Amino acid sequence: MKQIFSLFFTILLALCPMILLRVDAANADDVRKPVYAGSFYPKTQSELTSIIEQLTGRVKQTHVQHLPHTSLKALIMPHAGYIYSGLTSAHISLALKENQFKRVIVMAPDHRVRFKGGAISDVIAYETPLGLIPLNQDATMLRNNNHLFQAIPASDRLEHSVEVVLPFLQYFLKNFELIPIVLGQDSDLVDRVSAALDPLIDQNTLLVVSSDLSHYLSYQEAVARDRETIKLILNLDAGKLLTRENAACGRIPILVLINMARRHGWQPILLHYSNSGDTAGDRSRVVGYAAIAFYGGSSMQNSIDPSQPLKKHQGQALMRLARQTIAERLGKKSITVDPETLADSAFQDHRGTFVTLTINKQLRGCIGNLDSTESILAGIKRNAINAAFHDPRFPSLKAHELDRVDIEVSILTEPHHLEYRDSKDLLAKLRVNVDGVILSKGPANATFLPQVWEQLPKPEQFLSHLCMKAGLPADDWKKSRLEILTYQVQYFEEEK
């Protein structure tokens, strides 16, 4: 019985431990020794290298969207036992194969000690079976010169969330210096940690967040919940992620990353999703895993200006305006928007806008303008009316439908021509979940917002459906020289 219990406990721990336990770690004074080698991952160099190579080999057979030709800035990767989450972790190879970094900041959640603030080890190096990783000198600077961080020996001995991601980083990056940060569960850490790390972000620094997703739901429940969590991350929606239950154990590090991504204009791309039920676990109680890469840099001139994004409350005001405008046309009472709120100078910016209406997640109308000939405020009002009453695909909205309608507003960047050599080059340059696309050939033209990637995640499908929307043959993008423009979107959904 004792052996059975021990085996069960080891499996549960490797799946994604959320319980405290006593670990007899041989922790030298100056080097943080590996604690979980032999349980979460192999304990010898040869075995560890072999399993990473096997997992990476499987990535080559897995369809993954085309990655943008911009600078890699950050990664999210899981920290469970490799038999469960290793395949997802191996997908970071897609982002790292042409990138090297001198410094890696790993932000991970506290599972063990339940402290406030952040912990940064005072050792000089971390060790794994693949060798030593020296700590960067700025780890000492952050710990000594900032009230946020301190050395917490108990966390250093017991926490797995930094250690487990390191072998993958070592394998792909070879030589780098480390800043290991373990964060407590206080949401008020987000802005302060972001501000502390911001001066360290440069082209030679990679930011890595260590986090699993939902814990111990049934397989179907986990897939649904994780899909929504991933959507929030890809939309950089910190507000909803902050309040979402059972979303991610590394929620606070993820929120720090989202904060920095919004500030610097980084765009996230999903590399892979799985859960323990897909790999080696029971499907009755699974843990979710995602690998997500964040890209940015000067070549992302098409993206939303990070210095001028609309804030959450501004987006909600625009949606209330859209609903109020439709309700007035229907002769119904509705929520009203404070005129002082609408006097916000940001709403006078000239940008393209779209208004989308759905009922039970089915499209009920979507009209917008791609050009920036009118203000955001005027565009939302006009497109709300057009989406409700003038979308030729649907009958005019009826008064009894309004309470069932969900409204989404999209604010567009200025479209830019996409230069490409041939169909293969076009596929490589489109950024899945980032780019809205305008396709035209003579008088035929059509557009898809970036949100359409959720229904058509493969670029080939996306372009074929867009051709058909324009009245062209589905494979015309392969045969003809089409004019392609791309743009990006900041969009808002109504809060229930």
Mean pLDDT of 391-420: 91
Question: Would you say the C-alpha torsion 394, 494, 295, 251 has a positive or negative sign?
Answer: negative
To 5 degrees, how large is the angle CA 28–CA 77–CA 208? 65
Per DSSP, the three-state class of 80 is coil
429 has pLDDT over 90: no
* Contact status, residue 273 vs residue 231, Cβ threshold 8 Å: no
| CA–CA distances in Å: residue 280 to residues 15, 47, 91, 163, 283 | 9, 19, 18, 21, 9
Report the DSSP pairing between strands 362-369 and 353-359. Answer: antiparallel
Query: How many other β-carbons are positioned within 10 Å of the β-carbon of residue 31?
Result: 16
pLDDT of residue 72: 92
Question: Do residues 376 and 458 both lie within one domain?
Answer: no
The highest-confidence range among 52-66, 335-349, 440-454, 463-477, by mean pLDDT, is: 463-477
Residues in the chain: 496
What is the domain-level CATH number for residue 472?
3.30.1490.150
Domain boundary among 296, 328, 353: 296
Q: What type of residue sits at position 360?
A: N
302 has pLDDT over 80: no
Q: Which of 460, 328, 462 is nearest to 397 (CA)?
A: 328
* Contact status, residue 327 vs residue 334, Cβ threshold 8 Å: yes
354 has pLDDT over 50: yes
Question: Do residues 135 and 258 both lie within one domain?
Answer: yes
Q: Is residue 214 part of a domain?
A: yes
Mean pLDDT of 44-60: 94
pLDDT of residue 13: 43
Mean pLDDT over the full length of the chain: 87
Domain boundary among 368, 385, 413: 413
Question: Do residues 386 and 434 both lie within one domain?
Answer: no
Residue 311, C-beta contacts closer than 8 angstroms, at least 6 positions apart: none
Mean pLDDT of 375-392: 94
* pLDDT tens sequence across 193-250: 998 998 899 889 999 999 999 999 999 999 999 999 999 999 888 888 988 999 999 9
Domain encompassing residue 369: 312-413
CA–centroid distance for 6 within its chain: 37
Q: Is residue 339 part of a domain?
A: yes
Question: Do residues 350 and 251 both lie within one domain?
Answer: no
Per-residue pLDDT band for 191 (boundaries 50, 70, 90) equals confident
What is the domain-level CATH number for residue 344?
3.30.700.20
Question: Do residues 13 and 115 both lie within one domain?
Answer: yes
Question: Do residues 200 and 257 both lie within one domain?
Answer: yes
Question: Do residues 437 and 343 both lie within one domain?
Answer: no
Domain boundary among 240, 272, 296: 296
Say if residue 444 is exposed, middle or buried (CB neighbours under 10 Å; 0-12, 13-18, 19+). middle
Name the token pair of 18.
């959320």
Residue 294, C-beta contacts closer than 8 angstroms, at least 6 positions apart: 72, 73, 74, 75, 207, 257, 261, 266, 267, 268, 269
Lowest mean pLDDT among 24-38, 85-99, 250-264: 24-38
* pLDDT tens sequence across 256-282: 999 898 878 788 999 999 999 999 989
pLDDT of residue 3: 42
Per DSSP, the three-state class of 446 is strand
Mean pLDDT of 436-452: 91
Q: How far, in Å, CA of 157 to CA of 29, rounded?
A: 11
Q: How far, in Å, CA of 381 to CA of 387, rounded?
A: 10
Name the token pair of 240.
């909803």
CA–centroid distance for 136 within its chain: 27
* pLDDT tens sequence across 453-481: 988 988 999 999 999 999 999 999 998 88
Q: Is residue 305 part of a domain?
A: no
pLDDT of residue 342: 85
The highest-confidence range among 192-196, 338-342, 383-387, by mean pLDDT, is: 383-387
Structural domain total, the chain: 3
21 has pLDDT over 70: no
Name the token pair of 247.
């979303």
- Pick the residue with more confidence: 29 or 273? 273
Per-residue pLDDT band for 144 (boundaries 50, 70, 90) equals confident
Residue 364, C-beta contacts closer than 8 angstroms, at least 6 positions apart: 357, 358, 394, 397, 401, 405
Q: Is residue 307 part of a domain?
A: no
Q: How far, in Å, CA of 348 to CA of 339, rounded?
A: 14
Q: Is residue 304 part of a domain?
A: no
* pLDDT tens sequence across 364-380: 999 999 887 888 999 99
The packing angle between helices 2-15 and 82-90, to 10°, is: 20
What is the domain-level CATH number for residue 35?
3.40.830.10
Question: Do residues 357 and 284 both lie within one domain?
Answer: no
E-assigned strand segments in 297-395: 353-359, 362-369
Question: Do residues 204 and 270 both lie within one domain?
Answer: yes
Q: How far, in Å, CA of 267 to CA of 453, rounded?
A: 15
Question: Do residues 197 and 64 both lie within one domain?
Answer: yes
Question: Do residues 157 and 189 both lie within one domain?
Answer: yes
Q: How far, in Å, CA of 305 to CA of 298, rounded?
A: 12
Report the DSSP pairing between strands 149-150 and 118-120. Answer: parallel
Phi, psi of 54 (to 5 degrees): -65, -45
Q: How far, in Å, CA of 79 to CA of 347, rounded?
A: 43
Per-residue pLDDT band for 69 (boundaries 50, 70, 90) equals low
Q: Which of 73, 66, 105 is nearest to 306 (CA)?
A: 73
3-state helix, strand, coil in the chain (%, to 5): 40, 25, 40
The highest-confidence range among 66-70, 252-256, 340-344, 435-439, by mean pLDDT, is: 252-256
Residue 271, C-beta contacts closer than 8 angstroms, at least 6 positions apart: 64, 91, 92, 94, 95, 290, 291, 292, 293
Q: Is residue 302 part of a domain?
A: no
Lowest mean pLDDT among 112-121, 350-359, 428-437: 428-437
Name the token pair of 292.
């997500």
Q: How far, in Å, CA of 356 to CA of 27, rounded?
A: 57
Q: Is residue 398 part of a domain?
A: yes
Question: Do residues 102 and 189 both lie within one domain?
Answer: yes
Residue 447, C-beta contacts closer than 8 angstroms, at least 6 positions apart: 370, 436, 437, 438, 439, 466
Q: Is residue 303 part of a domain?
A: no
DSSP codes of every residue in 31-79? EE--SSBTTTB-SSHHHHHHHHHHHHHHHTTS--PPPPSSEEEEEEE--
28 has pLDDT over 50: no
pTM of full prediction above 0.85: no
Q: How far, in Å, CA of 331 to CA of 329, rounded?
A: 5
In which residue are the tokens 């808002």 written?
492
